[in-house]
Structure formats: C-alpha cells, structure tokens
Amino acid sequence: MNVLHVIPSLKKGGAERLVLDICRELQRRESMQVKLLLLHDENEFRYLSEPLSVEVTSSCYRRHVLRNADADFGDYRRLADVFKPDVIHTHLFEAEFFTRHCLFAGVKYITHLHDNMAQFEPFGMATLLHKTRFTNWLEKRDLIRAYRSCGNSFIANSEDTAAYFHQRLPADLTNRINVLDNAIALDRFRFMVRQAPAEEIKLVSTGSLVPKKNHRFLINVVSALKSMKQNVKLTILGDGPLHQTLAQEIAAAGLQDEITLAGKVDDVAQYLYAAHVYVHPATYEPFGLAIVEAMATGLPVVCLDGKGNRGIVDDGVNGYMLKEPDPKRFAEKISRMAIDKEVYATFSINAGTKARRFSITDYTDKLVSLYENLFSRR
C-alpha cells in the first residue's frame, strides 16, 4: 500500500511531530510505501525527517471571495502519477483544503483532525459581518462537497475533538469519524522513577508561545511558589509571537532568575530528565502530546483541564488536573507533590505506566487496520 501524508510544513508543533513518527513507523512495515509531502519548504525536524522520503510541492491553491482561485496542481499531479498513492492522509487545514481541490480516482482520503478548526464554526449572523468568518464558511462548504465526492474518512485525536466535529459536520459524514488517540515514539523517552526535589523544584513546560497555551499563567504560579518560600526554577520550551511579551512580563515580576524561555530545542527529552514536575497551563488542549512525552520519562504532571487531555492525566494518580485557572491552587499542588516524597514517587511510576499506553507502534497497527478497512467497504 502506498500512503501519501500531506502537511503544510514541518515547523515545530505537535501535529508535525506526530506525522513524522507515523511516517517513520509506517516505513518499517514491509507492506507499506510512505511519502511525506510539504506545501512549504520549512523543516525544523531535520533530525526526525532524515530517513524519510520528503518532497516539497510547488503546486498551490488559494481561494478568493470575489475572483477565481489561484490554482496550480501540475507538480502535485506529477508526484501522484509517479508515487501512485492508495491513501492520501492529510494534516492541518491548509493541506486539507489544497488536496480536496484536486481529487484522484480510486484514492482513499483521510482527514486527520488535530484540533477544533475555526473554519468549521457554525454559520451565524456574525459570519456575514466578518470577512474571515465568511471566508471560513465558504471554505467549509467547499470541503464538505469534496468530502462527499471522495468518500472521505476522518481520524480525531481525542474524544473531545471528535465531539467538536460531530456537532459541525453533516450527519452523513459524522459516521466516518474514527477516534485514535495520539501517540509517541517511546524509545526516544527513557523512563526512570523520579526522586522528589530535595531543595529546588525544577519545572518544565513545552508549547508554542501563543495565547491558547496560556504561559502567562505560569508566571503567576512561580510567584505563588516563591511566596510559599519554595525555591523554584521553570524552563519553558518553545517559541512564538508572545516571546517578547512574556520576557517583559517575567522581568516586570522580577522572575528572570526563576523563569527561562529556552526557545525551540531539538532534544526535549534532556530538559525533561532534568526536571521534577511537568506543568501544562493550556485552558484548551486537543490532546496533549507534550504531556505524554513528559510522563514517559517519569515526570508527574500538574495541568489545567484542557478537555482533550482528560484521557492522559488522572487527577491524584499521575499528577493533578485543575478545573479552574487558579495560580495559587496550581502552586499548592506542585508544592504538595514536592513535599510528600511517597506521593511523588507513586505519581512518577503511574505517569510512566500511563504513557506506555500511547505507543506509536500500537497506534500504527490501528492506523494500518483503518487503511485496510477503507478498501473493504462497499
């Protein structure tokens, strides 16, 4: 079976990392030929993509409201003629929109639902008054037509993501949604039972520096820990448009010695090994791949309820999940875990046990079965 995965780029992100792990695992299967197609020549995962067949297409499709679309599918068609995909598996909206405007006969199409895409919000009066919302609605309408035309199937990365699309897709499409929780390559994250911090609590958090990841909240958490007379260090891995703003707010709070913005890093695992607790402040999380990676190294977690992460963090078992974004209570959970060595060790063991449920090997077995089932349907 020839499987073509399509994604806009390989910029640092959870969806991009998952795609690479899927492709690497599929490539190990004798019955599978896999290719990864990018719409833009951006690759911040060279160390993971090196063994893969990766191409960048010069083709493009851009929709306009008041004039004809800019469309050029020549290079994309050339690639399909050579590779002859049986399955085209797409990730993130731009790749979705591009591929569904150039359909190939006999190919099975799968949409990977990584998050609650804004383009699928329901139509309302505000849609007519807001250019972006109106454009989103037009794009959604185009996609639904294409989904019906190609017999599209869907993979949701969590029950929460599936619920979102069950509410926003027509009924004739929702029965094609499959839930397949995200997974990681466990061999990149060595598990070890952690020891509670003796003096200084080392925290780590991973995520793009964008509003929905809510890193500003962690500044208040560190301040609260300091007021509890706890010695604390926080390292935030990732970059994004809020980097400068966060740096200024850290300085304004006088926490330059306590909080480090490390930026994008290749070897996330080394930072996880050096920490005592993984903290995740996102108020919405489609799944929480970074949480699983942290747990795989034995790190207990303190996080907010992001809905999609409910299947990962078991409150009071492998960490704590708070329903409300209260920095003082968040800090108290960290402090309690650090002080009680027995609870900390138990959480560490439980974190590793839970993470092993999210193996990319098992995930790919299910994915291959899903691919095969597409060809058995009438």
Give residue 145's pLDDT.
95
Q: Which candidate, 119, 146, 147, places its Cα nearest to that of 133? A: 119
CATH number at residue 220: 3.40.50.2000
Q: Is the pLDDT of residue 69 over 80?
A: no
Round to whole Å and give the CA distance between 250 and 259: 7
- Judge if 238 and 120 occupy the same domain: no
Q: Which candidate, 92, 101, 95, places its Cα nearest to that of 72? A: 101
- Judge if 201 and 74 occupy the same domain: no
Round to whole Å and give the CA distance between 164 and 117: 9
- Judge if 211 and 250 occupy the same domain: yes
Round to whole Å and give the CA distance between 359 and 355: 8
CA 244 to chain centre: 23
Residue 83 backbone class (left: φ over 0; alpha: ψ -120 to 50; beta: rest):
alpha
Instruction: Name the helix (H) or strand (E) containing 223.
Output: helix 216-227
| Beta bridge partners of residue 179, listed in sequence order | 156
pLDDT tens string 247-288: 999 999 999 999 999 999 988 999 999 999 999 999 999 999
> What percentage of the chain reaches a pLDDT higher than 90?
87
- Judge if 116 and 225 occupy the same domain: no
pLDDT tens string 155-210: 999 999 999 999 999 999 999 999 999 999 999 999 999 999 988 999 999 999 99
DSSP 333-359: HHHHHHH-HHHHHHHHHHHHHHHGGGB
Instruction: Name the helix (H) or strand (E) containing 218.
Output: helix 216-227
- For 149, the token pair is 């035309």
Instruction: Name the helix (H) or strand (E) containing 171.
Output: helix 171-174
- Judge if 215 and 160 occupy the same domain: no
Q: Is the pLDDT of residue 378 over 60?
A: no
- For 165, the token pair is 């699309």
Domain total of the chain: 2
Give residue 140's pLDDT.
86
Question: How many residues comprise the chain?
Answer: 378
In 10 A of CB 175, how many CB atoms? 10
Give residue 206's pLDDT.
96
DSSP 97-119: HHHTTS--TT-EEEEEE-S--GG
Give residue 134's pLDDT.
72
Residues 6+ apart with CB under 8 A from 240: 208, 209, 210, 213
Give residue 127's pLDDT.
57
Alpha-carbon distances of 170 from 93, 100, 127, 154, rounded to whole Å: 18, 17, 19, 13
- Judge if 40 and 136 occupy the same domain: yes
Q: Which domain holds residue 256?
A: 186-358
Round to whole Å and give the CA distance between 62 and 260: 40
| Beta bridge partners of residue 88, listed in sequence order | 4, 109
- Judge if 214 and 71 occupy the same domain: no
Alpha-carbon distances of 155 from 93, 186, 332, rounded to whole Å: 14, 22, 38
Contact indicator for 157, 181 with CB cutoff of 8 Å: yes
- Judge if 65 and 192 occupy the same domain: no
- Judge if 140 and 249 occupy the same domain: no
Round to whole Å and give the CA distance between 76 and 287: 31
Round to whole Å and give the CA distance between 177 and 162: 7
- Judge if 238 and 178 occupy the same domain: no
- Judge if 173 and 285 occupy the same domain: no
Q: Quickly state the pLDDT bin for 131 (edges 50, 70, 90).
A: low
Q: Which candidate, 260, 341, 343, 351, places its Cα nearest to that of 314? A: 351
- Judge if 57 and 129 occupy the same domain: yes
State the pTM of this model.
0.92
